[in-house]
Each structure stands twice: as structure tokens, then as C-alpha cells.
Amino acid sequence: MTNTETKTNNTPKKKAANIPTDKLHTFEGHPFQVIDNEEMDNLSESIKAQGIISPLIVRPMEEKTDEYEVISGHRRLYAAIKAGLTEVPALIYPLDRNQAVIAVVDSNLHREKLLPSEKAFAYKMKLEAMKKQGKRTDLTLSQAATKS
């Protein structure tokens, strides 16, 4: 695994790395489906031809020192494995569970094809994580995003 460290003003320290696919795990409780369909085939073919253009976002697994939980990029990981890649580019962020839940939800709500049940479960996960962090939950999600 190769890596470089980066730190910006208000963001946690992150590392860029190429990580073996067998060291990456789906985020526990990931509320969004990864569907193997024609779109996935197209993504896999694109990755086979050009590689992964946008790195995955991962966090270290708490119980395993050299393994990571995927925060953003579950579809890219699946497509990369399908394309035969054994290693993928990733940015490693030192997030706790609650920060990771919020990041998973926020990074996936922009997707075009979300089932209402996926969206509802995602908002519920985010609300619970915000409560655990002591953040206000009496605001709408758009207000919370701008005030937190």
C-alpha cells in the first residue's frame, strides 16, 4: 500500500493510498443497495478501461489495523472487483462511527435512483448519529447542514 498524508484547515487528517480490495469492507448498516445491472456493467467496463478516476473514501476499521470500511464508493469497489482490479485508490479519513454514518448518508443522498425506503433509513441513521454527537436534531436536515 502506498500513501501520502494531507491535512486541510478544518478537515481531519487524511491519507491517500492504493488499498487491496480484500482489505476493504462494506460499511456496517449501509442503507443503499449496490445492484449488479447494466449500469454496473458499464461502470465496470469504464474502470477496466480508465481505472478509478475518483478515489473511494474509507476509514480504518476499529478492530483491524490494516483493513478499512468503505464510506463512499461501494459501487466503484464492486465494479472494480468485477473488472478484475485487486487494488483501488482511496482516501483514508480517521472518522469515528458517528462521523462515518453522517458521511455515508451525505455522500449518497445525491444519487438519482434512491428508493424511498433507502432515503428514509439513511435520514434515520443520520439523525441517530447526530444525537450521539450532541448536535441539534430539531432542525430540518438542510438547516442542520448549514448550522452544524
Closest CA to 96 of 47, 137, 59: 59
Question: Which domain CATH number covers 115?
Answer: 3.90.1530.10
User: For residue 60, is it within any domain?
Assistant: yes
Other CB atoms within 10 A of residue 55 CB: 18
User: For residue 2, is it within any domain?
Assistant: no
The string of pLDDT tens digits covering residues 72-107 is 999 899 999 999 999 999 999 999 988 998 888 887
User: For residue 6, is it within any domain?
Assistant: no
Per-residue pLDDT band at 19 (split at 50, 70, 90): very high
The count of structural domains within the chain is: 1
pTM of the model: 0.69
Q: The sheet that has 68-72: what strands, in order across it?
A: 3-6, 14-20, 87-92, 56-60, 68-72, 24-26
User: For residue 21, is it within any domain?
Assistant: yes
With 90 as the cut, is the pLDDT of residue 128 above it?
no
Non-local (6+) Cβ contacts of 10 within 8 A are: none
User: For residue 94, is it within any domain?
Assistant: yes
User: For residue 59, is it within any domain?
Assistant: yes
Domain span at residue 82? 12-147
Q: How many CA atoms lie within 13 A of 103 on its CB side?
A: 21
